[in-house]
Chain A
Amino acid sequence: MASRAERTYLGQWWWTVDRVLLVALGAVMVSGLVLLMAGGPPVAERLGLSTFHFVNRQVFFLAPALIVLVATSFLSPRHVRRLALFIYLVSMLLVFAALQFGPEVKGAHRWLNIGSVTLQPSEFVKPAFVILAAWAFSEGSHRRDAPGTLLAILILPATIIPLILQPDFGQTMLITIVWAGLFFVAGLHMMWMIGLAGVGGLGIIIAYTFVPHVRARVERFMDKSSGDTFQVDTALESFYQGGWFGKGPGEGTVKRILPDAHTDFIFAVTGEELGVIACIVLVLLFMLIVLRGLVLARRLEDPFCRFAAVGLVLLFGIQACINMAVNVHLMPAKGMTLPFISYGGSSLISLALGMGFLIAVTRKRPTAPLYDRISPLHRSDA
């Protein structure tokens, strides 16, 4: 299939995609399935479902996710943009639909029931948003006639205001951080970065002051005795019980009382059953994907591809960082799933979409024409 002698469509794909990234993502997906076998059953049993309910569902979603990932990775940057725009518009529509018609789950309107499938449209907004923001930034950076930067600034409120209405502070925070990161990479003046950080800090202080549950969470993080720290304590105990090598697959006991063992706290279950070493390997795997993505982004000449790659890596990496940091109690509890590991169909397909985009924009491409268009300056040093 992948002979270099002839330029088949598939062959071209195989030789231009970044195979390190592809393999690493495959490894994360497979380990996600394995870890869900540890984290899923206790929750399923608690909910009265069949033991491997969550594992089966995850496998069920993994097939379309893989298709999405591979299919997306075939796209050219232009098509990536178009697809992203389409997905963005559709999923924003669905976000509004969820706000209006979605059932209330735990006080939020985040989900839409379509047949037997529960859909969380905000998940799909994220990769599409990153692509569109990257596009706007790249336009802003090399074309003075298009109001790229202004668009890039405006797209943030347009996206997060519906999310705040849901309310979904986790996604809001994630999107805002990614957006700020993109702005940073796009070359925003340091003054503005400091200003943004200030606004962010102010936002956190306001949230702390006026949003009771945010305040409670921060206080619990600072002072364990101020409230219920059952989840975090249990998660920490998982790690302590696991030690270096873990108790062995299926031997975990703390996971039976650990809430969200199959989603937000699957990392702690990993710690208990497979040990700290396995956790570190998992961290290194995520780190490999993130750093590889950034290295590729640095190599890219096309500003759009570069920003898109950075944005997608940020989205993926920050989500992983927050989840792991919460699990090991380095930051206050915040519901965030571990990419490709935690259970969740919408999340899985959204991540596949995002990583498909990442592989698509980091494909090796002939760069000379782009080069000329974007920056004539590469000739001056010749």
Chain B
Amino acid sequence: MLQDHSTPPGGKSPERAGPRLPGASPRAPLGASGGSQQPSPVAPSHKPATPAAKAGPAARPAPKPGHGPGQGAGLWQGLQASAARIFSRGGASSGKAAPDQIAAGRVPSGRTPPGAAGGGAAHGAAGPSRFNAAAMGASARAVLVAGAGRLKAGLTHGGALTWRSFFRAARAMIGDMFRMRADKANSRIVLVGAGFVLIFGAVIVRLATFAVMPPPASERYVAGNTVGVARPDIVDRNGLLLATDIKTYSAFAEPRNILDADEATELLTAVLPDLNARELREKLSTKKGFVWIKRELTPKQRAEVHRLGIPGVGFLPENKRVYPNGPVAAHVLGFANVDNQGIAGIEKYIDSQGLRDLAGLGFANNAADLKPVKLSLDLRATHAVRDELVKGMAHFKAKAAAAMIMDVNTGEVIALTSLPDYDPNNPVDALDKDRINRMMVGVYEMGSTFKALTTAMALDSGKVNINSSFDARGGLHYGRFTIRDYHGTNRILTVPEIFLHSSNIGTARMALAVGVEGHKAFLRKMGQLTRMQTELPESAAPIVPARWGELNTMTISFGHGLAVAPIQATAAVAALVNGGKLMAPTFLKRTEAEAANVGKQVVSAQTSEAMRYIMRLNGYRGSAKKSLVQGYYVGGKTGTAEKVIGGRYARNRLFTTFMSVAPANKPKYLFLTIYDEPQGLPETYGYATAAWNSGVTTGKIIARVAPLLGLPPIFEEPKNPFPNMVRLGAWGTR
């Protein structure tokens, strides 16, 4: 008996170890109720009787006061590990569950015929495993022993006796529950310590996450930190200001501190009449800690709101982006939103270059700390271009217009205007479909301007030279299609003549001489078949025919059937005239040396000279006469494309382009003007083709801008500007 007691629970006493096996684990039996789960229901059902009978008498005195604590502590001396305590708790719970189980076992055994005893035995079998698990815990020992004893009694004697032992068991259990176990203090102190370690550990982990994780972008955080974000100034190539930050104040409210939302709304709308009173009242009636009332107040408004003295209304300093030139260069600059984040154009580009990261780290708070961003644009030239274009668009009643100037040697965009445009200071209509940047986001069939590319391809391929001639009589028949000339000559033309007369037939024949694959490869090399990437995030991919046969090559050769962004075509033409180097256009300042590094030789220098020659020829003898500005040695090419309306080319809806280069002998600038659906006028004799509108406007632009750009006028014909052409005896040199 004593031996039995001093054996630690879970010890090696064979009677205990034996029946313990069927029970999965000391905790598991709590949930396992079916006796059928036991591997061998019959054998264990007898076993529990043995330890129960033995332990029974020993356990009975346990509840008696005075006996318990000392003895109990003695039993437990060997067990300091808190793991054992956990077992004991599991046991205690099992012990608690025991009476029910016993009651369940009793009913079949007492009241049912022997035939049903199997069920009772099964229940009995459930008991032992349970009790043996419970035996792990000394606190439950009295209960279980009494219970097991009673179970046995119940099995043998039946009803009356069982009740008595049931009460005894219950009393033992309750007595146990009221006894303070001082002997458990040590392990429980360990548990308390573990609890503290857990809490302190959680605090430490949390602290570490503060240092490691970026702060969450809550509204207050945004209001407190990123609103102050400054943006670098944007200046043009000469250092003139295009965009800058100014300090303003924004009014906010803390609705929880607003005493009377109605009164506050009334006062605020009196001072700021453009506020929506209903919305404001709703905002102020919440229990939020922060709402904006109005961003970017004028100093006067701020003073007035301040004078209202409404508690819970305050001001935050903000940086407001200002574009002093209004809509000039709007499409290049893009704009910043009210939180001073760039969301379009160069402004967005600046953000993507690390400004946003800087701001997140709390650096970019003062514009003075940030280096201004220098663009390739020339503000004065851009203004002049826009001015001429606005006038021209009104004059020719065009739906839209665009113009740009590119430095052919560096790929810098000197001026870019797309009409209709918007004021980046108040970009409410910037997202209008009509206000896209037509130079970059619109894709168009460029019309005859594309003939420059075809001619260059033919000359550069070696299959055609400057003196080759092509039959431009009648029409060019291909299947059921016939290609005709707009200014029909009905004779055999040399290459310069084809360009001069803008002969579709001749150009198509030139392209056929190179072949479909050669044509495709050349256009790909010139960057006409893929999206052109510049600093501006807005761009469009060209529309390339899915199946490209001979007919496609023929139409594309004169600028129909392939839609590209105008800037793409400009870059390609720039390469044709600058000596053959193709470089991606840029909106940032770039030197010629830097450009030479990124440039890629796409056509030979001689081809380039031929292109300059025929463009110059066209400039004073051909379709480009209208843009002829004395003294700048201008060359150029017109282009008129019929727009596709409902899947058909519409005769009266034209897209006109004019590309000109100055000076043609040693090109510096390339000018491009486009009009969308210009109308014929009395003074143009009803014509709406490119020469009558785009060409005229380009001429005005060149006359106005060339002095600004420092282009020296040339009053005497340059001596031998095209030596190779003279040597070859090209048409027009004689």
Contacts and interface: CB of A to CB of B under 8 A. Distances in A.
Given A189-B176, A230-B289, A317 B215 contact: no
Contacts of A306: 185, 189
A290 B73 contact: no
B200 interface: yes
Contacts of A44: none
Interface of A: 137-138, 140-142, 144, 149, 181, 184-192, 224-230, 233, 236-237, 239-240, 242-244, 271, 275-277, 279-280, 283-284, 286-287, 290-291, 294-295, 297-298, 303, 306-307, 310, 314, 317, 321, 324-325, 328-330, 375-377, 380-381
Given A144-B66, A239-B210, A290-B196, A190 B89 contact: yes
Contacts of A240: 210, 215
A184 B77 contact: no
A377 B65 contact: no
A184 B186 CA distance: 11
A98 B256 CA distance: 33
A328 B69 CA distance: 44
B74 A377 contact: yes
11 contacts: A141-B182, A186-B180, A187-B188, A191-B96, A227-B256, A230-B289, A237-B215, A243-B210, A275-B211, A298-B189, A375-B70
Contacts, number: 152
Nearest to A144: B65
A354 to B, nearest CB: 16
A280 B92 contact: no
Contacts of A230: 289
B178 A189 contact: yes
B708 interface: no
Contacts of A243: 210-211
Contact of B203 (A141, A181, A186, A328): A328
Contacts of A190: 89, 92-93
B181 A191 contact: no
B179 interface: yes
A328 B196 contact: no
B206 interface: yes
Nearest 10 CB-CB pairings of A with B: A187-B181, A141-B182, A239-B210, A240-B215, A276-B211, A377-B74, A328-B206, A187-B184, A189-B177, A294-B193
Contact of B139 (A189, A192, A330): A189
Contacts of A189: 92, 139, 176-179, 181
A277 B210 CA distance: 11
Contact of B185 (A185, A290, A317): A185
Contacts of A376: 70
Contacts of B183: 187
A330 B182 contact: no
Given A187-B181, A294-B192, A321-B196, 7 more contacts: A184-B192, A192-B177, A228-B287, A287-B196, A298-B186, A380-B74, A381-B74
A355 to B, nearest CB: 16
A191 B137 CA distance: 14
Interface in B206-223: 206-208, 210-211, 215, 218, 220-221
The interface centre, meaning the residue of A137, A243, A276, A284 with most chain B CB atoms within 10 A of its CB, is A276
Given A140-B180, A287-B200, A237 B221 contact: yes
Contacts of B17: none
A376 B203 CA distance: 43
B309 to A, nearest CB: 20
B338 interface: no
A285 B69 CA distance: 37
Contacts of B185: 185-187, 303, 306-307, 310
Interface string B25-66: 000000000000000000000000000000000000000011
A321 B207 contact: no
A237 B221 CA distance: 8
Interface string B234-256: 00000000000000000000101
B395 interface: no
B218 to A, nearest CB: 7
Given A142-B69, A298-B186, A191 B77 contact: no
A227 B288 CA distance: 6
Contacts of B177: 189, 191-192
Contacts of B193: 290-291, 294-295
A297 B92 contact: no
The interface centre, meaning the residue of B191, B200, B221 with most chain A CB atoms within 10 A of its CB, is B200
B361 to A, nearest CB: 11
B92 to A, nearest CB: 6
B180 A276 contact: no
A233 B207 contact: no
B203 A321 contact: yes
Given A280-B208, A291-B197, A377-B73, A191 B92 contact: yes
Nearest to A152: B180
A283 B204 CA distance: 7
B711 interface: no
Nearest to A307: B185
Contacts of B74: 377, 380-381
A276 B207 contact: yes
B650 interface: no
A144 B70 CA distance: 12
Contacts of B184: 187
Nearest to A374: B182
B73 A283 contact: no
Contacts of B180: 137, 140-141, 149, 186-188
Contacts of A137: 180
B199 interface: yes
A226 B288 CA distance: 7
Contacts of A375: 70, 73
Contacts of A138: 182
Contact of A310 (B89, B192, B204, B256): B192
Interface in B87-132: 89, 92-93, 96
